[in-house]
Amino acid sequence: MERLRCDWCESTNTTDAQSCRSCGAPLHDAERVTDSGWREAPRIRDMTEIQFGQSALRVEGEIVPVAEISLVEGDSVFFEHHVLLWKDDYVALSVMTVPGGMKRVFAGMPFMISVAQGPGRIAFSRDATGEVVVLPLHPGMEIDAREHAFLLASHHVGYSFVRIQGLRNILFGGQGMFLDRFVSREPGVLMLHGYGNVLERRLAAGESILVEPGAFLYKDAAVTMNVVAVAGLAVGLFGGVGMNLVRMTGPGRVGIQSMYVHHATE
Amino acid sequence: MSPRAAYTCHFCGTPGTGKELSCPACGSPTDVARVVSPSGWEELAPIPDLARLQIGRSTCQIEGELVPVADFTLAEGDSVYFAHHVLLWIDPGIGLETISLPGFRRLLAGMPVVMAHARGPGRIAFSHDEPGELVALPLHPGQTVDVREHVLVAATGDVRYEIVNPDIFYSARGSERSSSHYPLGYFMDRFTATTRPGLVLVHGAGNVFTRRLGEHESLLIHPSALLFRDASVAMHLHVEYPVGGGLSGWNAYVWLRVYGPGRVGIRSAYGPSENLSPAGLHSDWTERRVESTTAWYFMRDGQQQGPTTLAYVQGMALVKRLPADTPIWAEGLPGWLPVNSIGLCTKCGVEQPMYRTKWRPLGVKEWIWTIVFLPICFPFMLIGLFMSVRRCTRCGTMAR
């Protein structure tokens, strides 16, 4: 039987499908790749439906998109509490405690992650103009996302965090102290919110690229990240204020956003 | 006899011929399929670029889609009023004056105390400095709409403007200090069309969704997401403590519960939230502290209604859609009891009704304590005999 393969997430779909059932990417639009090798995140059409488990997820709006989920009994999603937009009265909310509590509190990150259990409908949006990126996770995949970038993840996905190594990386990396790490043991879905437009590039082994720290959004766990000072751009009386960029080294995917967000590290 | 209208705008209800590309009253496109999510929210179709709205003899053209501009062409005798910071450009010949708004409280609330008023003929344009959508709310004579503060772009001169206190506030204990929160602001703007139809243009940050709630239908929304509501929509705060989050209130969700009938509009960009622990002074609210599994039934107009949640019935009583002593019943209660005598036990771990009763020692342990400490406890017991408490139907826990 003939199947359509999604360019974005590589899931297979039936030939009559208009959008990928795993990530919502339009299937009949050509992939938009820049001359420099960045591909644009798919523009998920308004009211596109995405399946995960037995539940359905719908992306609504295009300026500040809303993710509306119809959860069935037994399915759940987890999220940071401040992205809730509305919910049905009977959707049960609970709390999932994340290990490393005090360290996360000092880093300004939530140490309690909220969980919504089905059945019922619940909707999320993040307070910024941008795009929703759907990353279906296949078993064994590990993805690192910058702090506060994740909108929600299905209960199939394991959530932990990794501490950014090196004082220089923490102070000048623009990412704070931690990265959220999502590991999947069974197929699941992860939704990130990117400020502005989102672009992705796949780096070959050993290939590297310098990225403005505030633009980093997500990467495969295999991609390494180090802060480097750009020579010749130091200003100020003693040249103490310079320009720092993040060097990403492959192999793996790197996602960036077109609006820069810098998290405070004090 | 006037020809029968071929099309009725699904957003504002204005009849039209169906030949226009967009509704002449509110600008909603007429040539697109109505976009409704399965949950009932209707995504406001963006007003098409360069669409024209007709207001009497004047027109308003909407330009752009990311940060849209409202470009008014005012006829002789027509006028619009607006807050000065949304003005984009103006014809030199147009007459501008100011309207002073009463209220020192507005000044304290950070709201404009002076509204600008532009009289035609001439052109004037407005834009709100934020990506989002323009929402046109046509008002028929007698119709009233409440809009959150600071989102007004412009309103036609015939529309009456006043401010109302939404009475939605709470105090919260943060990580460092306590603070007061007014998620709808100190005031809401109220617009009423008196004798002639009017138009109110508001700006919704992000995308805007509307929903028409039926009689007695209710919904929980993020308080800061509310953009507008029909005056018939009632609302109050609802606090929900997630299971496993402890009862200290850290990480509690503060919701706005809205009740139909009427329209509500929400925006998808609504400002930052923070971890809060609601405490101290607050406007009327309902709470959900434990897992809710109990089915509640209540009487309305002599008929049994339900099953529903206790918070719903308590909320309906709060907004005076039901009498405060509405009879209510759930499994475990001795009979139909007034809703204002019901509470929920927080010790059981699951929702368990508590009902108001006189204090009496029940178990053996309570009797022993009572006899041993009778001399000391006697005055308190005497008070207790006349004091009503709530007692859990399952574990016997008592609470005020």
Q: Which of B44, B266, B269 is nearest to A47 (CA)?
A: B44
Q: Are B251 and A112 inside 8 Å of each other by CB? A: yes
pLDDT in tens, B203-223: 999 999 988 888 878 889 999
Q: Reply yes or no on whether the pLDDT at B326 is more than 80.
A: yes
Q: Which of B330, B326, B352, B351 is nearest to B339 (CA)?
A: B326
CA A196 to chain centre: 13
Opening angle at CA A3, ends A221 and A25, nearest 5: 50
Type of residue found at B299: M
Average pLDDT for chain A: 82
d(CA B290, CA B276): 18
pLDDT in tens, A144-184: 998 888 899 998 888 887 776 666 666 665 666 678 899 98
- List of residues 6+ apart from A159 with CB closer than 8 A: A78, A96, A98, A113, A153, A180, A181, A182
**Most A-contacting residue of B133, B254, B268 (CB-CB within 10 A), to test interface:** B268
Asked if B87 is an interface residue toward chain A (Cβ–Cβ < 8 A), one would say no
Opening angle at CA A212, ends A206 and A218, nearest 5: 65
Nearest residue, CB atoms, A93 vs list B253, B272, B273: B253
8 A C-beta contact, residue B371 and residue B351: no
pLDDT at residue number A262: 66
Chain A residues inside the 8 Å CB shell of B253: 81, 84, 93
Q: Are B251 and A92 inside 8 Å of each other by CB? A: no
Nearest residue, CB atoms, A95 vs list B221, B245, B274: B245
d(CA B295, CA A40): 49
Size of interface A-B (CB pairs under 8 A): 119
pLDDT at residue number B362: 59
Enter the DSSP assignment of A215: G
**Most B-contacting residue of A86, A102, A148 (CB-CB within 10 A), to test interface:** A86
Opening angle at CA B188, ends A80 and B134, nearest 5: 70
Asked if A222 is an interface residue toward chain B (Cβ–Cβ < 8 A), one would say no
d(CA B191, CA B203): 15
Most confident listed range (A93-97, A227-231, B241-245): A93-97
User: How large is the ipTM?
Assistant: 0.71
**What pTM, to 2 d.p., does this model score?**
0.77
Q: Reply yes or no on whether the pLDDT at A253 is more than 90.
A: yes
Residue A121: which pLDDT band, with cuts at 50, 70 and 90? Answer: very high
Asked if B155 is an interface residue toward chain A (Cβ–Cβ < 8 A), one would say no
Evaluate the CA torsion angle A217, A220, A226, A230 in order and state its sign: negative
Pairing of strands B353-358, B388-392: antiparallel
Asked if A89 is an interface residue toward chain B (Cβ–Cβ < 8 A), one would say yes
Is the peptide bond between B15 and the residue preceding it cis, with omega within 30 degrees of 0? no
Considering only residues A206 and B391, tell me which one the structure prediction assigns the higher pLDDT.
A206
d(CA A170, CA A177): 5
Please identify which residue in the block is written with the tokens 């019901």: B342
Chain A residues inside the 8 Å CB shell of B266: 85-86
Considering only residues B124 and B173, tell me which one the structure prediction assigns the higher pLDDT.
B124
Q: What is the mean pLDDT of residues B343-367?
A: 65
> What is the 3-class SS of A2-21, one letter each residue?
CEEECCCCCCEEECCCCECC
Q: Are B38 and A65 inside 8 Å of each other by CB? A: no
- What the block records as the tokens of B385 is 């005999």
Provide the terminal-to-terminal Cα distance of chain B, rounded to the nearest Å.
Answer: 67
Pairing of strands B285-288, B234-240: parallel
Q: Are A89 and B312 inside 8 Å of each other by CB? A: yes
8 A C-beta contact, residue A80 and residue A113: yes
Q: Reply yes or no on whether the pLDDT at B303 is more than 60.
A: yes
d(CA A78, CA A16): 32
8 A C-beta contact, residue B67 and residue B60: no
CA distance A85 to chain B (A): 5
Q: What is the mean pLDDT of residues B357-369?
A: 66
- What the block records as the tokens of B89 is 């450009």
pLDDT at residue number B1: 36
* Closest alpha carbon within chain A to B39: A121
8 A C-beta contact, residue B258 and residue B229: yes
Asked if B218 is an interface residue toward chain A (Cβ–Cβ < 8 A), one would say yes
Considering only residues B387 and A42, tell me which one the structure prediction assigns the higher pLDDT.
A42
pLDDT in tens, A28-76: 887 888 888 888 888 888 888 898 888 999 998 888 999 999 999 989 9
Asked if B352 is an interface residue toward chain A (Cβ–Cβ < 8 A), one would say no
What angle do the packed helices B364-372 and B374-386 form, to 10 degrees?
A: 120
* Closest alpha carbon within chain A to B245: A95
* Closest alpha carbon within chain A to B34: A47
pLDDT at residue number A140: 86
pLDDT in tens, B161-177: 888 889 898 888 766 66
**Most B-contacting residue of A64, A70, A90, A114 (CB-CB within 10 A), to test interface:** A64
- What the block records as the tokens of A3 is 């199947």
pLDDT in tens, B228-278: 999 999 999 988 887 766 544 456 788 899 998 899 999 998 876 665 677
Nearest residue, CB atoms, B39 vs list A62, A68, A90: A68
pLDDT at residue number B3: 42
Residue B2: which pLDDT band, with cuts at 50, 70 and 90? Answer: very low
Provide the terminal-to-terminal Cα distance of chain A, rounded to the nearest Å.
Answer: 57
Q: Are B242 and A125 inside 8 Å of each other by CB? A: no
d(CA B346, CA B350): 8
